Structure 1
Amino acid sequence: MNVSTSLEDRVLELITEDDVVSLARALIAAGGENPGGTEEATVNVLEAFCLGAGLATETELVAPGRPNFTAVLRGGDRPGLLFLGHSDVVPAGGGWEGSPFDPSERDGRLYGRGSTDMKGGLAAVAVALKALKEAGADLPGDVTLACTVDEEDLGLGIRAYTLAHAGERFSACIVAEPTDLDTVIGCRGDSYFDVSVDGMSAHSGRPEDGRNAIDAAARIIELVREDHRTLQADRDALLGAGSWNVGLIEGGSGTSMVAGECHLSLDRRLMPDDDPHAILEALRGRICAAGIDRDGITVTARVSMEMPGFRTPANHPLVTSTVGALADCGIESRIGGWTAACDGGFIARDFGVPTIVMGPGGLNDQAHQVNESVSIAELLTAARAYALLCLRDCASP
């Protein structure tokens, strides 16, 4: 089934710079720093806009003051597109030229914490759905915007969403995270390992009377470093390789005491097929083989966070449709991969649908940065490309 050019033109005319910038500004002003658990104000702004646009909306409380939000543009009975975003932002920190939650415009850019990651992407999707509704687009399937909490920390929101919506069907997922409007077809996943080492404290004058947990932890770190080097020797052309990072280490009670305990927090980046629990078991095996957990030293470890990776073939219709829609909006979108992780991995894994990331703003030069900003032209282009994807992808046989 072909979508008429006149309908596309009508929808694109309804997507204005004023609409997308106005909504993005309101979302930025709502804050939502995480850690902090303050996403509710952002959801209230998004919900008011979507209700005003005539969309069906739903909020689902994940934790006090932390609601997931869903807006749906109703269509036919076929599976439709899912757009995915998150309502939280990283802490603003200091050093800003202005107030991070008082958005401002300068030289064609919108400034404020979350402008790129990812209030701008949320605004672009919502404005696109509003234009489709106003134009009376007859879509064969629902188009859904899901906005989750806690993406920047432990992913409580996406886990709650996949459980609550387990029976729903989607044709594909577009994560509106910042990619400079490039089409990202694969992402590494991520996992956190908490490792606790227990020994026995003693006076440092007689260290042989104790069992030093920090010494044992240092040996574990060397195992992790060795595995990291091994992983880098087999790099994937799109996503690179899995990797380890020791993010936190805490231990001991005083300089003149043998450390009786030590705690490590490890970050392990995942390839799409990696299982963090299997990786942890392999680490436990190496710890045992090295004799670290003997002679009064005990080691316990657990996976405290996991976020799966994903990969969509470069020739998939979702990918070619996205590149084509952006081309019709005047943008040459490059196809590539991310070494970062995002919530899209949960959708790809739990719903079994092709998934990409494409949105306004720069991940590496703007997201999580002081004086974060996004190109206003990219906001407008993203909204228009999202609308074209709804018309073309949902309407395809």
Structure 2
Amino acid sequence: MRTDQNLLIKKAIGLLQELIATPSFSSEEDMTAQLLENWFHEFDIPYTRVNNNVFAFNKCFDKAKPTLLLNSHHDTVKPNGAYTKDPFDPQIIDGKLFGLGSNDAGGCLVSLIATFTYFYESENLNHNIIIAATAEEESSGGKGLNSLLSILPKIDVAIVGEPTQMNLAIAEKGLVIFDAIVNGTPSHAAHPNNNNAIYNTIEVLEWFKNYRFPKTSEVLGEVKLTVTQINGGSQHNVVPANVNLVIDVRVNDRYNNKEIADMLSREAPCELKPRSLRLNSSSIDKNHPLVSSGVALGRSTYGSPTLSDQATLSCPSLKLGPGDSTRSHTADEYIYIKEIEEGINLYIKILDGFLTN
């Protein structure tokens, strides 16, 4: 027996208001995890909590079947100084639900939880379903989704809930952050120096500005390399020994992160060290039945430039959710109530097409 959709929508909006009213910065999600536990208690669904992650299996879970993961996060960034509204006051004004985390990714999370609850008791599905409401996504911390993957059964395909206006992000760029050092000869500013690290940086910056990776992705386009930080020197009369740069590289699905690191380490005119290689790009075949089910409902496909917990998954994964990515991390963040209603209805229709054929 399936729970009434209108009831689930009403309950999901109420849960989102509770989540907004409860601060849940990355690694501080204890209280919002309790709110998620309350949902599963109310609907009599057995669940497991590990740290601040809460997950549950559908009632008819069968180890012989492949498994679909539904995942989104309940942590938030900290509110910025431009807020004009209380970030923890879940006001509804002109059809908009305001509050920190409403769009990223509370609307997605409650919509996926409602969808899981709708299918919880369904029999004869062709996939198992796991719902995982996870922590530390915004900080890429060690106690989020990545910490569950050794505990959960094998995941064959996943939907990661992030705001996509319910269109189908069939690929997502990976990320590698590099620390770079441009070396020179330290000296007193009053003396000649033909090896000034700051002047040497000009050539290095031009190299990064003009560098292009040869492989372009049909969905994600080029690898995007951006110098985002520069730091050098400590006082006016001293030429520093080096200048430090930070390089942000958004990786398409034609490369893995190690290939990117190897290429830049070999070719760049400075010392480079990657901070981590674990946040690889992700994708799902555009002809995958899950994608086809969404396309049949009129949803478009695209490649996403932003990073999510997809980066921790090794299976095919689809980024999909209500809300608009451009509102994420902005002042007076909001999501439309109608987006949550549409999100739950579309999730259910897409999964009906995928799980019952």
Distance across 2 between alignment mates of 1:96 and 1:276: 36
User: Which of 122, 127, 139 pairs up with 1:153?
Assistant: 139
1:70 and 2:55 equivalent? yes
Matching residue of 1:333? 299
| SS in structure 1 of the partner of residue 325 of structure 2 | coil
Deviation at 1:374, TM superposition (A): 0.8
**Structure whose residues are more often helix by fraction:** 1
Match of 1:378 among 309, 332, 339: 339
Structure 1 equivalent of residue 47 of structure 2: 57
Q: How does 1:61-210 map to 2 (within 5 A)?
A: 61=51, 67-77=52-62, 78-133=65-120, 136-140=121-125, 141-156=127-142, 157-165=144-152, 168-208=153-193
The correspondence for 2:208, drawn from 224, 229, 236, is 224
The residue identity in structure 2 corresponding to 1:154 is: S
Work out the number of aligned pairs and report it. 353
Instruction: Provide the secondary structure at the position in 1 that maps to 2:148.
Output: helix
Compute the TM-score of the two structures, normalised by the length of structure 1: 0.81
Deviations 1:116-143 (A, max 9, x none): 100111111112223334xx42254431
Render the CA deviation track for 1:254-306: whole Å, top value 9, x for unaligned: 1211112322211100011322233222222224xx5x5xxxxxx35233364
Moved more, 336-345 or 119-128: 336-345
* Partner residue, 1:363: 325
Please tell me whether the aligned partners of residues 61 and 129 of structure 2 are also in contact (alpha carbons under 8 angstroms): no
- Aligned-residue offset at 1:334: 1.7
CA distance in 1, matches of 2:6, 2:295: 22
Where 1:219 maps in the other structure, the secondary structure is helix
Counterpart-to-counterpart distance in 2, 1:143 and 1:82:
6
Identity over aligned residues, as a percent? 25
Of stretches 101-110 and 375-384 in structure 1, the one that deviates more from structure 2 is 375-384
Q: 1:149 to 1:16 in 2, by over 3 A?
A: closer
CA distance 1:220–1:70, shift in 2 (3 Å): farther
Instruction: Kindly indicate whether the alpha-carbon contact (under 8 Å) linking 1:12 and 1:384 is maintained by their aligned counterparts in 2.
Output: no
1:273 maps onto 2:254 in alignment: yes
Cα gap change, 1:223 to 1:56, in 2 (>3 Å)? farther
Measured on the aligned residues, the alpha-carbon RMSD in Å equals: 2.5
Residue 28 in 1 paired to residue 14 in 2? Answer: no
- Residues 391 and 236 of structure 1, relative CA distance in 2, 3 Å threshold: closer
Distance 1:111 1:73 in 2: 32
Consecutive unaligned residues of structure 2, counting only runs of 5 or more, are none
Taking the aligned partners of 2:235 and 2:171, their CA distance within structure 1 comes to 46
- Given candidates 261, 281, 284, the residue that maps to 1:312 is 284
Structure 1 residues not aligned, in runs of 5+: 1-6, 62-66, 293-298
Which residue identity lines up with residue 42 of structure 1 in the other structure?
Answer: T
Deviation digits for residues 227-262 of structure 1, max 9, x if unmatched?
1xx34x865442121111111112211121111232
- Return closer, same or farther for 1:234/1:316 CA change in 2, 3 Å cut-off: same
- Going from structure 1 to structure 2, the CA distance change for 1:216 and 1:75 (only over 3 Å counts) comes to farther
Q: In structure 2, what is the equivalent of residue 64 of structure 1?
A: none
